[in-house]
Structure 1
Amino acid sequence: MIGVFVFNTAIMLLAVVTHYELLIRLTRFLQEFKLRHRSRILLGVCVALVAHVVEVWLFAVAYYVMEHFLGWGYLDGVSGHLLEYGYFSFTTYTTLGFGDISPVGEMRYLTGIEALIGLVLVTWTASYLFIEMQRYWNKD
C-alpha cells in the first residue's frame, strides 16, 4: 500500500510541476516578446491546452504502468491499448466520467487524485488567462 501512495504522490507532483513550468515559461516568453493582446491570449490558450494534454497522458501512462507492470488493478472495459487509457484519463481529468470504463483495485485511488488535479489545474489555467486578459483588456 505504501508503494501505491508513493507512486500516486509522484504522479500528482509531476502533473503539478509540469503545469507550473509551462505557465512560468509562458509568462517569461510573453514578457520578453511584445505581442499584441489577442496573440498573447491565443498563445496562452494553446500552451494551456498542450499542458493539459501532457498531464492527461501522464496519468494515462501511469494507469498503463499500474496495470501491466505493477499489478495494482486494472481498468474494466479496456482491452489494453494505450489509447483507451488515454480516453479514460481524459474523461477522468475533466471529471466528465462517462462510466463505460471502471477502475478496479488500487488504481481507483489514482482516478480520484486525477479528477482533483484536473479540477485544480483547469481552474489555475482559467485564473491565469483571466489575469492575462484583464491586464490588456482595453489596449487593443
Structure 2
Amino acid sequence: MIAMLDIFLINIVVVVAVVIVHYEFLYRLNRFIPRWHVLHRYRIVIGLLGALLAHAIEIWLFAIAYYFAVSTDVLGGLSGAFDGTFLDCVYYSFTVFTTLGFGDIFPEGDIRFLTGIESLTGLVLITWTASYLFLDMQHYWSDRE
C-alpha cells in the first residue's frame, strides 16, 4: 500500500508541472503576441487559442498520471465505463479538470485525491486564463480598431 506522503508527493509533482506549463504559455503569449503584426482583435483570438492549447496539455499531463496510477494499481482505480485505455484517462481528466463532474467514469481508492486536486487546479487555471484574456481584451479592444 502506498503511504499518504507518497500520494501527496505524486499530487504535488503533477500540480507543479501543470502550473509551470500554464505559466510558461501565458508568459510567452504575453511576450510574443504584441510583436506580431496582426490586427489587435486577432491577438485576442491567438491568445485564446494558445490558452486552450495550454489547458489541453495540462489535461493530458493529469491523464498520464491517471494512466500510470491505474496501470500500476498505485492509487486505486477508475470504475464505471472505464476500459483502462489512455484515451479513457484523457476523457476522465477533461471532465475533472473542467469540473463537469463524474459521469460514466468515477474514482475509487486513493486516486480520489488526485481527482480532487485536479478539479481545484483546473478551476484556478481556467480562472487565471479568464483574467489574462480579460486584461488582454482591455488592452487591445479600444477605439483604434
Tell me the TM-score range normalised by the shorter chain.
Answer: over 0.9
Secondary structure of the equivalent of 1:19? helix
Q: Matched residue pairs, number?
A: 140
Secondary structure of the equivalent of 1:115? helix
Q: Which among 11, 16, 20 is matched to residue 17 of structure 1?
A: 20
Residue 115 of structure 2 corresponds to: 111
Deviations 1:73-115 (A, max 9, x none): 0001211111111111000000001422111111000000000
Please, what TM-score do these two structures have when normalized by structure 2? 0.92
- Residues 120-129 or 97-106, more deviating: 97-106
Q: Does 1:97 align with 2:101?
A: yes
- Residues 122-131 or 30-39, more deviating: 30-39
RMSD: 1.1
> In 1, are the aligned partners of 2:41 and 2:140 still within 8 Å (CA)?
no
Q: Partners in 2 of 1:28 and 1:134 — Cα distance?
A: 16
Q: Partners in 2 of 1:101 and 1:58 — Cα distance?
A: 18
Q: Does 1:55 align with 2:58?
A: yes
Residue 67 of structure 1 corresponds to: 70
Q: Partners in 1 of 2:76 and 2:102 — Cα distance?
A: 20
Deviations 1:39-70 (A, max 9, x none): 10010010010000000111111001111125
- What stretches of structure 1 move > 3 A for 4+ residues in a row? none
Q: Partners in 2 of 1:124 and 1:28 — Cα distance?
A: 17
Unaligned runs of 5+ in 1: none
Unaligned runs of 5+ in 2: none
Please, what TM-score do these two structures have when normalized by structure 1? 0.95
Q: Percent identity?
A: 51
Residue 137 of structure 1 corresponds to: 141
